[in-house]
Amino acid sequence: MNKRFVLRTRWLAVAFIGITALIVGRLYILQIIQGSQYFARANAQFILPQSPLIDRASIYFTDKNNTQILAATLEEGFSLALNPTKITDPEALYNQINPIVPIDHNTFIAKAKQSGVQYVLMAGHLPTSEGQTLEAANLPGVIISEDRWRYYPGGSLAAQEIGFVAYSGNLVEGQYGLEKKYNMTLTRNSQDLYTNFFVQLFGGVKSTLQGNSQTGNLTTTIEPSVQQELERDLVLYDAQWHPKLAGGIIMNPQNGEIYAMAVSPTFDLKDFGAQTDPAIYGNAMVNNIYEMGSIMKPLTMAAGIDSGAITATTTYNDTGCITVNTARICNYDLKARGVIPMQQVLSQSLNVGASFIATQMGTTTMRDYFLNHYNLGGITGIDLPNEQAGLVANLHTLQQVDYDTAAFGQGIAVSPITMIRALAVLANGGYLVTPHLVRAINYDTGITTTLNWPKTGPVLKPQTAATVTQMLVTVVDVGFAKGISFPNYSVSAKTGTAQIANPATGQYYPDTYVHSYFGYFPASNPKFIIFLFGYEPVGAPYSSETWGTYFHSLVQFLINYYNVPPDR
C-alpha cells in the first residue's frame, strides 16, 4: 500500500512539473518572444481600434556564405491624423506641423475643416524622429499613433519573386510572389491576442510538435549578388536589343534551388503603387508560356537515344527541307547537309534533323517522353503563385507533323520555369527536381524547418543524360566563337530561336522571334544551369547573336564569385 502511494505521488509530481514547464514555456513565448508585438497591437488598438498594426514575419535572401540578408521586413514609425472637432485655427496648426512633416496646404486645410468628423488620416509611415517630435509638441486636434508597414530594403531586387503586401478589401495580404504564396505563414493573426490562454497553450504545443500552423520567417535560396548580376545583364540586354520582355533564371540543377530569377522591365517594391500597368507585378518566368524553339532539341535528342530509336552515332540524309502531312519543314537556312551524324543536329541546330528523330521515335514514344518524362504539359510545383501549365495539345493528335515541329520547339508552349526544369534533367543524371525559392521556415516558436522539395525519377537513363551533355559540350567547344567559349571549363549549352504566332491568323510572323539560351556547367558535375529569354528583340534574327555575350558574362561571374575550379 505504501509503495503504491509513493508511486502515485511520483507520477503526480512528474505531471505537475510537465504542466508547469508547458505554462512557463508558453509564457516565455507570449511575453518575451512576442511581447513587443502584443504591446504594439494593444497600443495601436487603444488609439485607433479600426486600424490595427500590420504584423508580419520577414523574408530573407541567403548569400553564398549562408548569411541571411533582409528582403522584406517591418518598419516602425508613426502616423499623423487630425480630429477636426478640436481644431480652432487650421492655418496656425498647419504652420506648426508643416516644418516637421511637409503636407500640401490645401489638402491639410480641407481635412482640418471637416465637420462632424473626429478622425482624418493625414500621413502615415512617418519616421520615428518626426512622430516623436509631433507627439512632444502636444498640439490640439493632432493624433499621433504608432504605425508599422512592410519595408523592402532591396528596392527592385527580385521584385516579382518577393511580391508585396497591400490591401485586399479590408485585409492586408500578400499580393504577388512569395508574399502571396506564403501569406498564411507570414501573417501573424491579431485574433491570437484574444484567444483563451489554455487554448493558446495547448494549441501552441500541438502545432509546435506537428511543425505546422505556425508563423515564421522565410529563408530563401535567392543569392542577392547573383540576383543583382542577372538583373544588371537584363538591363544591358534591354538597352541593346529592345525586347518587349526579357528574363532569366539561375538554378542548381541538382536540387532545384533558384539562386536568381528576374524579369525586365521590373519595378521598385518601395514604390509599387506608382505603377500604372499591374501586369508588371506578375512573373513571366512562371505565369507565361512561349514556344521555345531550338533549346527543345536536346530534349528531343535525349528522348530518341533513351528510347533506343537512335544512337549518338546515327546518321541521316539532311535534304534541307522535307514535307510531312503536306506541311513543309526546313532548316533555318534552307540548306541541305547530306548524310551527317546526330551531333550536327545540335551543333548546326537543324530542324530537319529534329524531325527525323521525332519520326524515328513515333508519336506514342515521343508523347510519353515529352508529357510523362519531362512533364512539359504540367506544372513544376514552384513556390510562386499562378504557375501556368504547358500548352501541348499538338502532342495529343495523330499527325506526325505536330510531333516533328514540337521536336524543334514550335507548336507547343511552356513556361520558362518548366523549360529549365526539363533541361536540368540532362545536367543531373536524369531526375526531375522541383524548382523552389524557399529553403527553410524559422517559426516564431524557435523551431526551424528545412523544406523537403520532391525529386523524381530517373526519367532518363544516366548514360543518356551523360551522352547528350557531352554533345552539348561539343556544341560550345566547336560551334561557339572564341570570345564566348570556355577553354578551362566544360560548358553544355544551346541556343533557341522561335517564331511567334499571330493569334488572329494562327500563322507565324515572318520577322518576330523569341530568343532563348540555356547552359549548365561544369559539365562534369553541374552546379549551375542558366536560362535566358527575350521576347521580340529588335536588330538580330538569331539568339546566338543577342544572348551569347550575356551568357558568357554570367558564366564567368559565377565561376569567379563561387571560385569554381576548372574541370579540364
DSSP output for 305-333: HHHTS--TT-EEEE-SEEEETTEEEE-TT
Residue 479 C-alpha cell reads as 560551334
DSSP-derived letter for residue 391 is B
* Contact (Cβ atoms closer than 8 angstroms) between residue 376 and residue 392: yes
pLDDT at position 11 is 67
E-state strands within 365-474 = 432-433, 438-443, 448-450, 455-456
Question: Which one, of 477, 470, 366, lies nearest residue 411 by Cα?
Answer: 366
pLDDT at position 9 is 63
Over the stretch 45-86, which tens digit does the pLDDT of each residue have?
334 444 557 899 999 999 999 999 999 999 999 999 999 999
Q: Is the dihedral of CA 363, 366, 372, 374 positive or negative?
A: negative
* Contact (Cβ atoms closer than 8 angstroms) between residue 163 and residue 176: yes
Looking at the chain, the whole-number percentage of residues with pLDDT higher than 90 is 79
Question: Which one, of 436, 74, 56, 61, lies nearest residue 216 by Cα?
Answer: 56
* Contact (Cβ atoms closer than 8 angstroms) between residue 351 and residue 331: yes
Over the stretch 425-452, which tens digit does the pLDDT of each residue have?
999 999 999 999 999 999 998 999 999 9
* Contact (Cβ atoms closer than 8 angstroms) between residue 435 and residue 428: no
Domains of the chain and CATH, by start? 224-267+281-561 (3.40.710.10)
pLDDT at position 198 is 47
Q: Is the dihedral of CA 375, 378, 384, 387 positive or negative?
A: positive
User: Residue 25 above 70 pLDDT?
Assistant: no
pLDDT at position 169 is 80
Q: Which residues contact 211 (CB under 8 A, 6 or more apart)?
A: 443, 447, 449
Question: Which one, of 436, 425, 418, lies nearest residue 291 by Cα?
Answer: 418
How many beta carbons lie within 10 A of that of residue 73, not counting itself? 15
Report the pLDDT averaged over residues 539-565. 96
DSSP-derived letter for residue 29 is I
User: Residue 203 above 50 pLDDT?
Assistant: no
Residue 218's DSSP bridge partners are: 59, 441
Average pLDDT of the chain, as a whole number: 89
Task: Please work out, in degrees rounded to the nearest 5, the angle formed at the alpha carbon of residue 277 by the alpha carbons of 551 and 150.
Answer: 85
DSSP-derived letter for residue 370 is I
DSSP-derived letter for residue 188 is P
pLDDT at position 213 is 53
Name the phi and psi angles at 532, rounded to 5.
-125, 145
State pTM to two decimals.
0.86
CB-side neighbour CA atoms (13 Å) of 11 = 6
